[in-house]
């Protein structure tokens, strides 16, 4: 039984008003084709509070009594022979600490009586599985309260408003899992960087990444690998991974393993043949300078948006210096004309979700400031597609992004993915062993 999940449930309940109940809905398995299902991955809010990774489960937390109810699939020998073991009703109590456990089929019958005496209903139901039921349950509460008891008109509030801010600051066990995901992903990227050469197919490198992170304890990737040669890298979420790599191209690989439900998210860009051309080196150096300038700003108290602003300032200056932007730097910054090449935002929280949950603004609408225990990516990029015909030809057909995973420490930061080669010299030396 896990203390950490019990502590999180208690922390959630402590933040709810009197007479509240929280319903936390897990995911169901999705069909891939006919009777074949996709590999199951639990909802992260549900996992965060329960650690229960089986499909088709619902947790209910009662504020006043502190009771934890878990609805799940009952034991079923035939189903378990086909698809694997289940904790079952007893396991939900013994292994997962539920005070009461029920078969999931009992939910509709049991839940209305659980919410009968509550004033506030909080719900986490990402896919809206019970949207239609909520009103029914609340109506049941109204119609079934006693004749001389005030009718309760329950409020319904997303539980995300409580859980997601909690998930932004990572605890020690979470940091350990993120570190393991990053370590495995560094090994994966290293293997791909060594194997990369003209003629190899993007899909071979994607498979090599998967194989290597598996050797380091990851069961799966945190998001589909992006292995993009040449112009393919100008599609930000390119996932086809099916082209042969060519002499003279850059490769962009954005790939991260998932370890115990925690993600890494790392990008490297390098020449397919291991040797930067002058044009590739100049764009790469601009992106790396932007990343390093933003990382240098990370410490408690820095406003989140300052990282993006810093990246844009450095990249605009760099693009102006090499002639890809024209005019006056102040005017470029004011008109944001750099956005043509820089395209996207430069980072996001990292945790159970690769684009992890949690607010980027305070309640007054200002950008949030960083604090110890936050983990996020910084990932500036410059993208110059082949059809940018006004740009000199040597720059066309490349997307360069560099992405590191950063932890805010008490006084500054730690770049968790720093040991993966990132300077021109480090990359060329790894790709061209003596």
Residues in touch with ligand GLY (CB under 6 A):
223, 254, 265, 354, 379, 403
Segment 266-285, which members bind Mn ion (CB under 5 A)? 267
The entry of ligand GLY, Mn ion, none that residue 404 binds, CB within 5 to 8 Å by partner kind: none
User: How would you class 361 by CB atoms within 10 Å of its CB: exposed for 0-12, middle for 13-18, buried for 19 or more?
Assistant: exposed
CB of 370 to ligand GLY, least distance (A): 19
Distance in angstroms (rounded) separating the CA atoms of residues 123 and 113: 16
CB of 344 to ligand GLY, least distance (A): 8
CB of 377 to Mn ion, least distance (A): 4
Segment 370-389, which members bind Mn ion (CB under 5 A)? 377
CB of 291 to ligand GLY, least distance (A): 13
- List 254, 353, 356, 404, residue binding Mn ion (CB under 5 A): 254
Binding region for Mn ion (CB under 5 A) out of 108-116, 229-237, 288-296, 395-403: 395-403
- List 54, 56, 125, 265, residue binding Mn ion (CB under 5 A): 265
CB of 405 to ligand GLY, least distance (A): 10
Query: 40 vs 223, which CB is nearer to ligand GLY?
Result: 223
CB of 341 to ligand GLY, least distance (A): 17
406: left (phi over 0), alpha (psi -120 to 50) or beta: beta
Helix, strand or coil, per DSSP, at residue 404: strand
Distance in angstroms (rounded) separating the CA atoms of residues 138 and 102: 21
Distance in angstroms (rounded) separating the CA atoms of residues 112 and 119: 13
- Check binding of 356 to Mn ion (CB under 5 A): no
Please enumerate, as own/partner, the contacts of 181-184 that have beta carbons within 8 Å and a separation of 24 or more.
181/218, 181/222, 181/256, 181/257, 181/258, 181/259, 181/262, 181/263, 181/264, 182/256, 182/264, 182/266, 182/405, 182/416, 182/417, 183/216, 184/212, 184/213, 184/216, 184/217, 184/218, 184/257, 184/259, 184/264
DSSP code for 159: T
- Measured at CB, which residue is nearest to Mn ion? 254
Token couple for 175: 């940091």
The entry of Mn ion, ligand GLY, none that residue 249 binds, CB within 5 to 8 Å by partner kind: none
Distance in angstroms (rounded) separating the CA atoms of residues 265 and 185: 8
CB of 103 to Mn ion, least distance (A): 40
The entry of Mn ion, ligand GLY, none that residue 223 binds, CB within 5 to 8 Å by partner kind: ligand GLY
Query: 212 vs 346, which CB is nearer to ligand GLY?
Result: 346
Under the rule (CB under 5 A), what is the footprint of Mn ion? 254, 265, 267, 377, 403
């Amino acid at each position: 039984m896990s203390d950490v999940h019990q502590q999180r449930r208690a922390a959630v309940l402590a933040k709810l008003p009197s007479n509240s109940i929280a319903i936390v809905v897990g995911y169901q398995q999705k069909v891939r084709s006919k009777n074949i299902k996709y590999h199951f991955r639990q909802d992260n809010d549900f996992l965060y509070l329960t650690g229960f990774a089986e499909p088709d489960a619902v947790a209910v937390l009662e504020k006043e009594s502190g009771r934890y109810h878990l609805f799940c699939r009952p034991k079923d020998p035939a189903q378990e022979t086909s698809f694997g073991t289940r904790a079952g009703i007893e396991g939900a109590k013994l292994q997962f600490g539920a005070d009461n456990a029920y078969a999931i089929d009992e939910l509709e019958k049991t839940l209305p009586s659980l919410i009968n005496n509550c004033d506030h209903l909080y719900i986490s139901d990402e896919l809206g599985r019970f949207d239609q039921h909520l009103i029914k349950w609340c109506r049941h509460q109204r119609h079934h309260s006693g004749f001389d008891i005030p009718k309760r008109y329950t409020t319904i509030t997303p539980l995300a408003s409580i859980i997601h801010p909690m998930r932004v600051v990572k605890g020690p066990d979470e940091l350990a899992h993120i570190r393991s995901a990053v370590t495995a992903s560094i090994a994966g990227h290293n293997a791909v960087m060594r194997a990369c050469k003209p003629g190899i197919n993007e899909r071979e490198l994607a498979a090599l990444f998967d194989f290597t992170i598996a050797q380091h304890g990851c069961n799966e990737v945190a998001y589909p690998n992006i292995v993009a040669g040449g112009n393919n890298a100008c599609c930000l979420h390119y996932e086809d991974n099916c082209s042969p790599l060519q002499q003279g191209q850059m490769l962009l690989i954005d790939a991260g393993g998932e370890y115990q439900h925690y993600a890494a998210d790392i990008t490297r860009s390098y020449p397919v043949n291991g040797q930067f051309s002058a044009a590739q080196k100049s764009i790469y150096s601009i992106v790396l300078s932007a990343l390093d300038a933003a990382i240098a700003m990370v410490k408690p108290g820095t406003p989140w948006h300052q990282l993006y602003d810093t990246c844009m300032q450095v990249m605009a200056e760099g693009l102006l210096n090499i002639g890809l932007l024209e005019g006056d730097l102040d005017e470029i910054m004011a008109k944001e004309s750099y956005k043509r090449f820089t395209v996207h935002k430069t980072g996001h929280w990292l945790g159970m979700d690769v684009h992890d949950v949690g607010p980027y603004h305070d309640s007054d609408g200002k950008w949030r400031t960083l604090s110890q225990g936050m983990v996020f990516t910084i990932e500036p990029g410059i993208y110059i597609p082949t059809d940018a015909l006004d740009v000199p030809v040597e720059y066309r057909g490349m997307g360069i992004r560099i992405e590191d995973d950063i932890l805010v420490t008490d006084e500054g930061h730690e770049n968790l993915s720093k040991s993966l080669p990132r300077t021109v010299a480090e990359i060329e030396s790894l790709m061209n062993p003596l």
